[in-house]
Amino acid sequence: MFVSGADSGHDNSGVSGPVLIPARFVWPYGGRRVFLSGSFTRWSDPIPMSPMEGCPTVFQVMYNLTPGYHQFKFFVDGEWRHDENQPFVSGNYGVVNTIFLEPDMIPAFFSSDMPGRSNMDVDNDPILRQEAVPRISQADIELSRHRISVFLSTHTAYELLPDSGKVIALDVNLPVKQAFHILYEQGIPVAPLWDFCKGRFVGVLSALDFILILRELGNHGSNLTEEELETHTISAWKEVKLHLSRQIDGNARSYSRHLVHAGPYDSLKDVALKLLQNKVATVPIIHSSSQDVSFPQLLHLASLAGILKCICRHFRHSSSSLPILQHPICSIPLGTWVPNIGESNGQPFATLRRNASLSAALSLLVQAEVSSIPIVDDNDSLLDIYCRSDITALAKDKAYAQIHLDELSIHQALQLGQDVSSPSNGQRCQMCLRSDPLHKVMERLAIPGVRRLVIVEAGTNRVEGIISLSDVFKFLLG
């Protein structure tokens, strides 16, 4: 998990500073009072460690470290101790434990914005999971996956269609500015694109497009100007985006793919796989009565939430047929958690302070390929969440033309969209506990507008991890 922070060598107003990696330190051998000290504290100002809830002999603390080599020891009931089960060496302070954090674990674009350390007292250490949480068997996982796969394979996207509703599509010749306002006013993060000349749907316009546009506007010397945002069409922007993609990695083929869509009689499993494999939030359900696919009809925008709702509804009265549903999420390989000492952080999980710049948030969303960032206080307790779709709030009163991304804080950016009447309004910070069973998490994620749950510690709301819709489906589909 990459957490924002900065040392005393940087002022509080900027966003520059060292990149810090949160590391969990654990003392599992009991005691009454346990402290942590190390080279990162210059062996002074010992850091108090807290006993885990339900496991009082295990103490832990979170501390943000810079990349590189660090030494540390534990001060237990007045005596200096080291953990013999962790790497240790003989140093200037006797026998000390060591940790090395790889620099390439951190996205180069990320910098921090807050002074001081960040302690996060969380209770998801592997020791607790093994002793206090029943382990789920691989046989139960495979049985549950098989039954879910059979259900998804025998039901079609037609079941996702609502009894009534509306689907908004945008013409590719629409000015980008106007499209920006439409998404904001309608409270939607994405819309399919219709090409009248070709007589078919050719793509989608999403919140990510506007993030890239605003970042491009903020780049000095950019070919894209504010005037072009006022007059350029969506199709013109797509050409600019393709050009930018070529400049970034020299491979435009991955960015010129055809529209990912599905038919009403495609299986739910096929639709879910299209969403996962193409890393998109929605797939248009398109029907055409002619063999040449002319005069297509846009029926619905399918999402993982809609498919999950079908799963929950189908198994609601036969939950015993899915053994995994009653297991707590901490016992299941699901989601992204704060790593423990010695563990690699395979998937970046980011948080930011609310006075971090909007520019830092947008860079993190794009470069780390995440859809949301939890906003936390100095104690790493959850305050809010910034999502890609929040960018449309800048369309209000043409705010995008009046602000600078480096000067606007995340808190200020979120205030701009407080009165947005969208389906997800009021559901910004959906949370769960590590002890919540999987069926409870799935039911919450099936609510329209809820795409992820932030895992928090009971009582403190300290962030422990995050579970997204895609995480759930990757696990369920194996």
Assign 3-class secondary structure to the chain.
Answer: CEECCECCCCCCCCCCCCCCEEEEEEECCCCCCEEEEEHHHCCCCCEECEEECCEEEEEEEEEEECCEEEEEEEEECCEEECCCCCCEEEECCEEEEEEEECHHHCCCCCCCCCECCCCCCCCCCHHHHHHHCCCCCHHHHHHHHHHHHHHHHCCEHHHHCCCCCCCCCEECCCEHHHHHHHHHHHCCCEEEEEECCCCEEEEEEEHHHHHHHHHHHHCCCCCCCHHHHHHCEHHHHHHHHHHHHHHHHCCCHHHCCCCCCECCCCEHHHHHHHHHHCCCCEEEEEECCCCCCCCCEEEEEEEHHHHHHHHHHHHCCCHHHCHHHHCEHHHCCCCEECCCCCCCCCCCCEEEECCCEHHHHHHHHHHCCCCEEEEECCCCEEEEEEEHHHHHHHHHHHHHHCCCCCCCEHHHHHHHCCCCCCCCCCCCCCEEECCCEHHHHHHHHCCCCCCEEEEECCCCCEEEEEEEHHHHHHHHCC
Predicted local confidence at residue 132, as pLDDT: 45
Q: Examine the pLDDT at 292 and tell me if it is beyond 70.
A: no
**Within a domain: 408:** no
Q: Identify the pLDDT of residue 18.
A: 54
Q: Which domain holds residue 290?
A: 155-302
Predicted confidence band of residue 157 (pLDDT cuts 50, 70, 90): very high
Residue 251 has pLDDT above 80, yes or no: no
Give the whole-number percent of the chain exceeding pLDDT 70.
77
Q: Are 17 and 112 in contact (CB under 8 A)?
A: yes
- Binning pLDDT at 50, 70 and 90, where does residue 225 land? low
Is the confidence at residue 127, as pLDDT, over 70? Answer: no
- pLDDT of res. 338: 74
4 lies in a domain? no
Give 89-111 pLDDT, tens digit per residue.
Answer: 887 778 888 887 765 444 333 33
Q: Is residue 7 part of a domain?
A: no
**Residue range 375-425, pLDDT digits in tens:** 988 888 899 999 888 888 888 777 777 778 888 898 888 887 665 444 343
In a domain, 391, yes or no: no
- Position 477 in a domain: no
Q: Is the pLDDT of residue 156 over 70?
A: yes
Q: pLDDT tens digits for 446-455?
A: 988 888 999 9
pLDDT at position 419: 54
Task: Give the per-residue pLDDT at 95.
Answer: 87
For 176-216, write each residue's pLDDT tens digit: 888 888 988 888 889 999 998 888 888 899 888 888 888 77
- Find all residues with CB under 8 Å of 302, minimum gap 6, and list them: 157, 160, 262, 271, 275, 282, 283, 284, 285
Question: In this predicted structure, what is the pLDDT of residue 307?
Answer: 96
User: How do residues 50-65 score in pLDDT, each as one tens digit?
Assistant: 887 667 888 888 888 8
pLDDT score, position 414? 87
| Model pLDDT for residues 252-289, shown as the tens digit of each residue | 444 445 788 999 999 999 999 999 999 888 999 998 87
CATH number, domain at 247?
Answer: 3.10.580.10
pTM of the model: 0.68
What's the structural domain count of the chain?
A: 1
Whether 235 is covered by a domain: the verdict is: yes
Residue 48 within a domain: no
Highest-scoring range by mean pLDDT, 231-245, 316-330, 417-431:
316-330
Q: Answer yes or no: is 34 within a domain.
A: no
